[in-house]
Amino acid sequence: MVELGEKKMRGRQIANHLYKRFENSFNSMDDLPQAFRTLLESQYRVSPLHVARHLKSRDGVEKLLVHGGDEQVFECVLLPYSDRVSCCLSTQVGCPMGCTFCATGLGGFDRNLSVGEIIGQYLLLSALSIRPISHVVFMGMGEPLLNFGNLLKAIQLLHDEVGISHRRITVSTVGIAPQIRELAKLKLPIHLALSLHSPFDDIRSRLMPVNKKWSVAEIMGEMRNYQRATGRKITIEYLLIAGVNDSKEQALELARLVQGVPSVINLIPWNWVDTGNGFARPTREQVRAFRQILESRGANVTERTERGHDIAAACGQLAGQHQGKFAKRGTPLQVTT
């Protein structure tokens, strides 16, 4: 603002319009002089994002397919609950991790998102929401810790400008050990969730190629260190796939892994997408049996509430429409509803 010959206070005024009122044009910022608004409209854009598609689920979930002008689409999701409103944000266009059960990884990877593109998702979803968004989860497309610098800047903006508590921000990772160590050093009281999906290296490596670089033992060690450094309970995300990772032996080993660590295991029945691997969703009885074993060993267990399944906005379903440069499939994924 000073470089434009304006007072410093203009910066705070514009920030208030962007981060509190979610204005989508400078012309609507009515406490700015008209001539200045005209100047801003001619030189700048409020949002870096274009909405390619807007879908609304029967259960109230809304999903936006957006891009930054390059047609490389990515997705964000608005998740209203009775007691809060959450949003799920992407950090990359596609995902480079190649998890065999996930639609996003099969769509290939193009690039990291800028800070503006990350925050832009939040602002677009906030403008849609009747109630204020209170919680942010980085569980959309991409591996957040591989876009570490921009992720941290986005978290800072959400905290400092938007006013969202660090304790209401969750970052989900497949387990990038060096960045978990760096995050622990910062001691931000954000919530860290690990996508584990098997306590056995051989099975996890088949499901998640990242395990070939950092084993279950190593990544769980980093999660324990993070918990000690921040004092925050860690979450272990566990996607249940019938006949693959839902055995009694895996439940017992998973309970052993978290013993003595302030944690919660979040069970997620696999949401079907055509990955070509023949995976199947477990029955309710299989999920219940797995959970009972964990709880009998003293583990704290929750089960992910399914939202947005009919618009492919549920866990693992994002990016059915994304077709990146390094896609592992020739056509967009089909998703059952």
Report, as residue numbers or ranges, the catalytic residues.
Answer: 75, 315
- Measured between alpha carbons, how far is 219 from 213 in angstroms, rounded to an integer? 10
* Bridge partners (DSSP) listed for residue 301: 265
What is each CA distance from 126 to 19, 136, 175, 285, 312, in whole angstroms?
9, 11, 30, 38, 20
Say if CB 73 and CB 65 are below 8 A apart.
Answer: yes
What are the residues whose beta carbons fall under 8 Å from the beta carbon of 119, sequence distance 6 or more? 154, 157, 158
Q: Between 216-230 and 177-186, two packed helices, what is the crossing angle to 10 degrees?
A: 10
Q: Measure the CA angle with vertex 278, ends 275 and 283; round to 5°.
A: 110
What are the residues whose beta carbons fall under 8 Å from the beta carbon of 222, sequence distance 6 or more? 175, 177, 180, 181, 184, 214
Say if CB 266 and CB 223 are below 8 A apart.
Answer: no
Q: Taking Cα atoms as reference points, which of 47, 30, 28, 37 lies closest to residue 6?
A: 37
Kindly report the backbone phi and psi dihedral angles of residue 320, in degrees, each rounded to the nearest multiple of 5, phi listed first.
-60, -30
The SS3 call for residue 96 is coil
Say if CB 109 and CB 37 are below 8 A apart.
Answer: no
- Measured between alpha carbons, how far is 284 from 119 in angstroms, rounded to an integer? 37
